[in-house]
Structure 1
Amino acid sequence: MAPKPITSPVPVEWYPSLAVVMLSVGLMVTASFFIYEATSSRKSRSLPREIATAAVASVFLGFGSLFVLLATGVYV
């Protein structure tokens, strides 16, 4: 029984589109985080909301960066 080659679960043609979409969403969430921090008073801020927003932005920017590298041929 011959082993199967490892293949990507995402088609290679989707890499550039996924990179643009994920980086765009990540940057928008990051911008909303900064706007929230700049416009809310120190006493009205919510730590769970800040952590959730930062986590979502981090995930999208991380995967967006990964797909940028994959789209340019840097296989990580």
Structure 2
Amino acid sequence: MAESAKPINSPVPDSLYPMLSVLLLAIGLLVTASFFIYVATSSRKNRSLVKELITGAVASIFLGFGSLFLLLSTGVYV
């Protein structure tokens, strides 16, 4: 049974980890900046909770995956 076992491989090549981390972190920071600009420039009456939650969720996803690929590219396998 041990002879038929296949090693687990990543769906993303290791050489793409640095580029993915920079790209995803940059997108996450841009979405975060747009969130802060939206909150700072709109009045309390004109704000939309749904828009804030969606923007926060998108920024969180991009920053989370960017951090994951940053850790993977530096050799910290999580």
How does the TM-score come out when normalised to structure 2?
Answer: 0.95
Deviations along 1:12-63, one digit per CA (max 9) or x if unpaired, are 0000000000000000000000000000000000011000000000000000
Q: 1:32 aligns with which of 27, 31, 34?
A: 34
Q: How far apart, in 1, do the equivalents of 2:34 and 2:74 lie? A: 29
Aligned match of 1:23: 25
**Higher Rg of the two aligned structures:** 2
Segments of 5+ residues of structure 1 without an aligned counterpart are none
Segments of 5+ residues of structure 2 without an aligned counterpart are none
Q: How far apart, in 1, do the equivalents of 2:51 and 2:76 lie? A: 35
Q: After TM superposition, what 4+ stretches of structure 1 lie above 6 angstroms from structure 2?
A: none
The number of residue pairs the alignment matches comes to 76
What is the alpha-carbon root mean square deviation over aligned residues?
Answer: 0.7
Q: How far apart, in 2, do the equivalents of 1:74 and 1:38 lie? A: 37
